[in-house]
Amino acid sequence: MSEAEAESGALELERFGFFISPLTPPDVPDVLICSVDPRFKIATLVGALSSKKTPISTLTLSRWLFLVARGLSSARPIRPPAVYRRITVVGADVFVRRLAGIGAETFSCDSSTPLPPGCYALFLGDKFYPHPIGQKMPRLCFTETEPAWTAPDDDFRASYRMNNPVPDNLATDARKRDCGLCCFTGRPSDCITWVIPPLLCGAVSPPAFALERCLCLDNVFTISSDLLQAYQDNRIAADPQDGYRIVAFGELCHPPLLDRLRSLPTSGRFWHASLTWALSVRFTGCDIGFRDTPIADRLIEELSWEGARMIPKGSKWSTAAGKEAIRTFLWARAGCPLPSGGEEGWDTPPQLPSDTTSSPSDRADHSDQGKEFTVSQHSVRLTMIPWILFYTSWIGLSFFFVGFCTALSRMMHQ
């Protein structure tokens, strides 16, 4: 894909209505997974990947979605008759997207065929699949999380910090097992690192590993020194349930990776935990919105009072909150006022060029569903301002006219 095409794709994705978490791949994601609240039909992004960099089947995707939600008591494995269907969404409010259409084509949740680009949600028949959102795993990479669990220097756990060398006896055994070759590339290397840093073992959920269980050969491996930072940033992982297939999130500056882990451990429990952590960091989607919503609200107020006619420029408008404020403001300004009949009879607000992944036939299949929208408080406020000004002016003119007539009458009587 050329640079121009990539830039165009990024623009289309922004118009699509979601802001991808900055921890997701730098490549433009074209496989988006949403969870839809069936009561309000609110779509929440729970996963984003680039199919060109990480081809994924629905079978693998279903397992990954379960992994990132497994920390919740209501989570359960995704199995047939659950299916994936394409959906179309439109903007509704600050970091809020509403379902606008559902495609007719279904994709079985246990297929080994790569999932084509699109925006999808899970269904059971014609109903949304009750799959929970979120997980108890921290959305931080090993590098960022390690200081939170840093033990005092006089604590025995301090020797097992992520950046500290692996104990000599484990390092020697790992080099012997791996034949001195990087497990990701097959190149010679003397660098040995942890699969799960022992100091973070208590943060792995589920299951939590005792520190003593982490000090074993299965929890260390040989890696090229130029890949160490990428691994500690959770940009590389191996999937034990897929034959230890290597998964890379984003571009890596190194020779090509192997298809599968070169040296296999006797147990995959640490690699399984590593993959779960990597997915919670790199696969999950629009968590940024919940942090930036108040900022976006304030920027919308600024746009509203200034009566912006052009898209403003500047550093604060180039942030996720700034872009979302502009998007919401323009959507609201072009929206329709709230009629007296309540929600029924609302005119459909102009749809953003939002669905860069669903086909026209998919949208046509459920065109009636596109008429269910929420007019946000911003839309209502913006559309009421002209009426308030009109009625205020009319009342002022009425008082002036009455006063003028009264004065004129008094002059005539004199």
- Identify the bridge partners of residue 88 per DSSP, sorted by sequence position: 101
| Residue 230 confidence (pLDDT) | 92
- At 3-35, the pLDDT tens digits run 443 333 333 334 445 666 555 555 677 888 888
**Residue ranges covered by each domain of the chain:** 3-135+285-371, 142-268
- Residue that wins the pLDDT comparison between 334 and 115: 115
CA-based radius of gyration for the chain: 28
| Residue 211 confidence (pLDDT) | 78
| Residue 98 confidence (pLDDT) | 84
- At 122-133, the pLDDT tens digits run 999 889 987 766
| Residue 406 confidence (pLDDT) | 74
Mean pLDDT computed over 247-276: 87
- At 104-121, the pLDDT tens digits run 999 999 999 999 988 899
| pLDDT of 176 over the 70 cut | yes
Mean pLDDT computed over 314-336: 77
For 114, 396, 404, 413, 414, the CA distances from 410, given in Å and listed in that order, are 88, 21, 10, 5, 6
- Residue that wins the pLDDT comparison between 346 and 189: 189
Which of 220, 228, 208, 219 has the alpha carbon at shortest distance from 142?
A: 228
- Identify the bridge partners of residue 35 per DSSP, sorted by sequence position: 44
Number of alpha carbons in the 13 Å side-chain half-sphere of residue 211: 12
Residue pair 370/88 in contact (Cβ under 8 Å)? The answer is yes
Read off the pTM. 0.70
| Residue 2 confidence (pLDDT) | 41
For 13, 32, 101, 312, 412, the CA distances from 20, given in Å and listed in that order, are 9, 10, 21, 22, 74
| Residue 57 confidence (pLDDT) | 94
| pLDDT of 138 over the 60 cut | yes
- Residue that wins the pLDDT comparison between 298 and 157: 298
Q: What percent of the chain has pLDDT over 90?
A: 27
- CB contact set of 287 (below 8 Å; sequence gap of 6+): 21, 139
Q: What percent of the chain has pLDDT over 70?
A: 69
Query: Regarding beta strands 236-239 and 245-248, do their DSSP bridges make them parallel or antiparallel, or are they unpaired?
Result: antiparallel
- Residue that wins the pLDDT comparison between 336 and 290: 290
CA dist., res. 118 & res. 189, Å (int):
40
Residue pair 68/276 in contact (Cβ under 8 Å)? The answer is yes
Which of 246, 225, 229 has the alpha carbon at shortest distance from 237?
A: 246
Question: Tokens 């898209």 correspond to what residue?
Answer: 311
Helix (H/G/I), strand (E/B), else coil: 89? strand
What does DSSP assign to residue 57?
A: B
Report the mean per-residue pLDDT for the chain: 75
Residue pair 374/93 in contact (Cβ under 8 Å)? The answer is yes
